[in-house]
Chains A and B, each alone.
Chain A
Amino acid sequence: MNHEELDASLDSFGDALASATRVTPGNALRPEDIAVAGAKPSDEVAQYALHLGDDALILAQRLSHWISRAPEIEEDIALGNIALDVLGHARSFLTYAGLAWDKSEDDLAYWREEEDFTSLQIVEQPNGHFGVTIMRQLIISIYQHLLYSKLLESTDETIAAICAKAVKEVDYHRDHSAAWTIRLGQGTEESAAKMRHALEVLWPYTGEMFQDEELHRTLGDVAVLPSTLREAWEKEITDVLAEAGLEIPKSGMAMAHGRVGEHSEHLGFILAEMQVLARKHPGASW
Chain B
Amino acid sequence: MTNAEELFSIAAKVTDPEIPVLSIADLGILREVNANEDGSVQVIITPTYSGCPAMDVITQDLYLAFGEAGIEKVDVKLVLTPAWSTDWMTEDGKRKLEEYGIAPPTGTGHSGRVTLGISVKCPRCHSLNTRELARFASTSCKALYTCKDCLEPFDYFKVLS
**Most B C-beta atoms less than 10 A away, residue of A24, A29, A81:** A81
Stretch of B9-17, B43-51, B93-101, B116-124 on the interface side? B43-51
Contacts of A160 in B (CB 8 A): 81
Asked if A86 is at the interface (CB within 8 A of a chain B CB), the reply is: yes
Interface residue from B82, B85, B134, B140 paired with A85 (Cβ < 8 Å): B140
Stretch of B20-28, B29-37, B60-68 on the interface side? B60-68
Shortest CB distance A90–B (Å): 9
Query: Of all chain A residues, which has the CB nearest B138?
Result: A77
Asked if A27 is at the interface (CB within 8 A of a chain B CB), the reply is: yes
Instruction: Report how far A81 CA is from B142 CA in the complex, Å.
Output: 10
Instruction: Report how far A118 CA is from B49 CA in the complex, Å.
Output: 25
Stretch of A30-38, A203-211, A278-286 on the interface side? A30-38
**Interchain CB contact under 8 A, B135 and A27:** no
Instruction: Report how far A1 CA is from B113 CA in the complex, Å.
Output: 51
Contacts of A161 in B (CB 8 A): 80-81, 83
**Interchain CB contact under 8 A, B49 and A169:** yes
**Interchain CB contact under 8 A, A84 and B53:** yes
Main secondary structure, interface of B, reads loop
Query: Of all chain B residues, which has the CB nearest A33?
Result: B78
Instruction: Report how far A172 CA is from B64 CA in the complex, Å.
Output: 35
Shortest CB distance B32–A (Å): 13
Interface residue from A23, A34, A80, A172 paired with B135 (Cβ < 8 Å): A172
Instruction: Report how far A161 CA is from B83 CA in the complex, Å.
Output: 7
Query: Of all chain B residues, which has the CB nearest A27?
Result: B56
**Interchain CB contact under 8 A, B83 and A168:** yes
With contact pairs A12-B72, A26-B59, A82-B136 given, residues A36 and B50 touching in the complex (Cβ less than 8 Å): no
Instruction: Report how far A175 CA is from B45 CA in the complex, Å.
Output: 29
Main secondary structure, interface of A, reads helix
Asked if A87 is at the interface (CB within 8 A of a chain B CB), the reply is: yes
**Interchain CB contact under 8 A, A74 and B50:** no
**Interchain CB contact under 8 A, B112 and A92:** no
**Most B C-beta atoms less than 10 A away, residue of A9, A86, A176:** A9
**Interchain CB contact under 8 A, B80 and A164:** yes
Contacts of A81 in B (CB 8 A): 136-137, 139-140
**Interchain CB contact under 8 A, A27 and B59:** yes
Asked if B148 is at the interface (CB within 8 A of a chain A CB), the reply is: no
**Interchain CB contact under 8 A, A166 and B50:** yes
**Interchain CB contact under 8 A, A13 and B77:** no
Instruction: Report how far A175 CA is from B113 CA in the complex, Å.
Output: 6
Asked if B74 is at the interface (CB within 8 A of a chain A CB), the reply is: yes
**Interchain CB contact under 8 A, B81 and A36:** yes
**Could you name 30 residue pairs across A and B whose Cβ atoms are closer than 8 Å?**
A6-B64, A6-B67, A9-B63, A9-B67, A10-B63, A13-B75, A24-B60, A27-B56, A34-B78, A34-B80, A74-B136, A74-B144, A77-B138, A78-B136, A81-B136, A81-B140, A84-B53, A85-B140, A89-B51, A92-B80, A161-B81, A165-B47, A165-B83, A168-B83, A168-B160, A168-B161, A172-B136, A175-B135, A176-B135, A178-B113
Minimum-distance CB pairs A-B, first 7: A88-B50, A88-B51, A78-B136, A74-B134, A33-B78, A84-B51, A161-B81
Q: A12-B73, A84-B51, A164-B81 are in contact. List 10 more A-B contacts (CB 8 A).
A: A10-B63, A33-B77, A77-B134, A81-B137, A82-B136, A89-B50, A89-B51, A161-B81, A164-B82, A176-B136
